[in-house]
Every structure is written in structure tokens, then in C-alpha cells.
Amino acid sequence: MKTRQRAAQGSLLLALLLMLNIVSIIPAAGQENTQCDAGFRLFDHEYLATEPVCIPENPQKVVVAWAFNATALLRADVPIIGTNSIAFNQGQFPEWADDLGQITDVGRPLNLEVILGLSPDLIITSDFDAEGNEDALSSIAPTVLFTWEGTHIWRDVAQLMFDAAGRLKEYDALMIEQETRAAELGALIDDPQAIELSIVNVRADRILLYTQYSPGGMIVEEVGFSRPEVQLWPDAESPAYLRDISFEELQQADGDYILIFGGFALDEDAQVTLDELLESPLWQSLGAVQADRVYISNVNFAGGDIGNAHAMLDELAAAFGVADDFSPNPYITRAEIPARAPEATEEAAG
């Protein structure tokens, strides 16, 4: 009974505080003009899910309720006080586990009481994570809601997040850093354009091919690899990042090299499906398999995350035997964000 009373009291407190806050936080869309108060700026972006919104010029307590880019934002010194998918990111980035562990988990679905208790001055999240709670979030703090159309826009969403947090220059520098490592890897591999690289994801009872619109597909193309024609999605107006195939369609997984990825270290069911795949006569008939050109990875080639892009590059370097000559992963070494050359700064600004 006491537990129910405490829960009811907490919900009532949340409702009362939201009612008090809502009079002090008025979105730009609800005003007759788009002028923001001192210390605020009007924020807009191609993937902003709302009308332009007034946000702090220099936010100090940011809630980022999204599974990706937390470590990149931390590298850029964004003062994150709340996020979600913390355990997932600690597994992806063990070097950042302590930093992530100091951030409050705001849950998924979002826990409004926890977010309110943090007293953030900026909230960044997706429209589907906020679904049904848009007004409540906006009454807690200025809220940047982005539209998630699929993995093909992961870099655009990352740019939005950094821009809202006042770190757009750092975003540009991080992109240059990642693109530089991709070009370096392409040079180490020597003529990757001549290599058709197949990307296969194995899950419990599922085999999927990843297209050029997946984060992994984008990264391997940046390195310079070609892709099997059957793995290129033909419709740019309606991009898909993956498609399922059956065991009978395994020929579509062939290439000069095959990269298989999945959460095999943690997902026993995915490991079972992988074992079945590797033992399949159709699989064993593939050219890349017979040439012993198959690499199995636990790195997530599906995640649209700036830091994880470097993990993908590391795996590709290992797969092609050039890891010892490849530059260190800045998310493992926790390197400072490199300063940009003047020409790069001007180009990004233009």
C-alpha cells in the first residue's frame, strides 16, 4: 500500500511541476515571432521534428536520450547528465565505461520523473522515443526532437545533436578524423575498389544482407571497397539498409570477401544460427568461403555511431591483415579531438 501511495504521490508531483514549468518554457512555434530570450538561440535543422525551437546558447545540463553518439559527445565535452542505453554503450566502449556510469539512466521508454529530477536545460531525443510525451518534455526543458527516417541519415542526426549542444565545430573535426582513418585504411589495403566486400548480419533465426545505406555499408564504401551488385539497394527515394535472405538464397551473400557480424559473444541464439550457417553445404559452396576469405566480427556494423565507425575500421584492418600498421582508434586511446586545418574549417563553413 505504501509503495502505491509513493507512486501516486510521485506522479502527482510530476504533474504539478510540469504545470508550473510549462508557463516558463514557451517553444518558438507557440510565439508570434521567433525571437529568443537572452542566452538562447533559435535552432532549426533539416531533421528537426518540430517548428524551430529556442534553446540555450551554452547548455550546461543536457539529457541525450538516444542510443548512439554518447561517447563522441563526451569527447566533445558536452555536459551530459542523462542518457539511455548506458549498459549497451559501456559494452561497445569499455574505455568509457566509468564516464558513462556517472550519467543518470533516463530509461527507454523515457522516465519523465527521472528527467524532471535532473533539471536539465536541454533535452535531445527522437520523435518516436518522445511519442506521447512531447509536451511534457518541452515543459521540463527546451527539447530538440529529431525525426529518425533510418540509418541512412545517421550522420545528419549526429550533426543535429552536436549542433544543438553547441559543438558543431567539434562534429566537423570528428568527421574529418574518421574520414582520414578510412582513407588511411584504404591506402593500407591497396586497391580496395577491386574487392567486392559482402556484409552479412546473423541473428537468431535470421540472415541479413546490409546495403550501402547501412552504417557499415557507408564505412566500407568510404574505405573504397566495392559491393556485390545484389547487395546494392536500387531505390534511393526509399532507401533500405538491410534485407533478409533464406538459406536457399545464400548465393547472394557471396563476394570476394565476406564480413559476418553479430552479437555472438552475448547472444547464444545468434551463435546457434551462425553455426548452422557455417555448416550449410550451400554456404560452403560460396567462392569467398572456399578461398578462406570470411571474417567473423562481434562489432556492430549496424549502429550509426561516430565512435563505432572507428571500431568498424579497426575490424576491417584486422580482417585484411593491416591492423599493426593502422593508426590507433581515438576512442580507445581517448584522444583529444584534433584541431582542424584552416581550409577544412572554411570548407565546412561553406
Mean pLDDT score of the chain, rounded to an integer? 91
Q: Indicate whether 162 pLDDT > 80.
A: yes
Tally helices (H) and strands (E) across the chain: 15, 12
Handedness of CA 325, 191, 92, 127 (dihedral sign): positive
How is domain 13-166 classified at the CATH fold level?
Answer: Rossmann fold (3.40.50)
110 neighbors 136 (Cβ within 8 angstroms): no
**What CATH code would you report for 190-333?**
3.40.50.1980
pLDDT at position 266 is 86
Q: Alpha carbon 202 to chain centroid distance? A: 20
- How is residue 253 written as a grid cell? 551473400
The average pLDDT across 43-54 equals 98
* Element at 319 (helix H, strand E): helix 306-319
pLDDT at position 34 is 76
Where is pLDDT greater, at 124 or 349? 124
SS3 169: helix
What confidence tens digit (pLDDT) does each residue in 311-346 have? 999 999 999 999 999 999 999 999 999 875 444 444
Give span(s): CATH 3.40.50.1980, the chain.
13-166, 190-333
Q: Indicate whether 9 pLDDT > 70.
A: no
pLDDT at position 292 is 98
DSSP 33: S
What confidence tens digit (pLDDT) does each residue in 12-44 have? 445 545 554 544 444 554 444 679 999 999 999
What confidence tens digit (pLDDT) does each residue in 81-101 have? 999 999 999 999 999 999 999
The average pLDDT across 36-54 equals 98
Residue 2 carries which side chain, given as an amino acid letter? Answer: K
Handedness of CA 127, 130, 136, 140 (dihedral sign): negative
pLDDT at position 170 is 98
Residue 45 carries which side chain, given as an amino acid letter? Answer: H
> Which residue, chain included where needed, has cell 568527421?
175
Q: How far apart are CA 71 and CA 89, in angstroms?
A: 8
The average pLDDT across 239-253 equals 97
Q: Indicate whether 179 pLDDT > 90.
A: yes
**3-state secondary structure labels for all residues of 106-137:** CCCCCCHHHHHHHCCCEEEEECCCCCCCHHHH
Q: Indicate whether 250 pLDDT > 60.
A: yes
Q: Indicate whether 290 pLDDT > 50.
A: yes
pLDDT confidence tier of residue 211, bands split at 50, 70 and 90: very high
Q: Indicate whether 222 pLDDT > 50.
A: yes
Q: Indicate whether 2 pLDDT > 50.
A: no
Q: Helices in 59-167 by DSSP H: which ranges?
A: 70-75, 86-92, 97-101, 112-118, 134-140, 154-164
Q: How far apart are CA 219 and CA 214, in angstroms?
A: 9
pLDDT at position 22 is 46
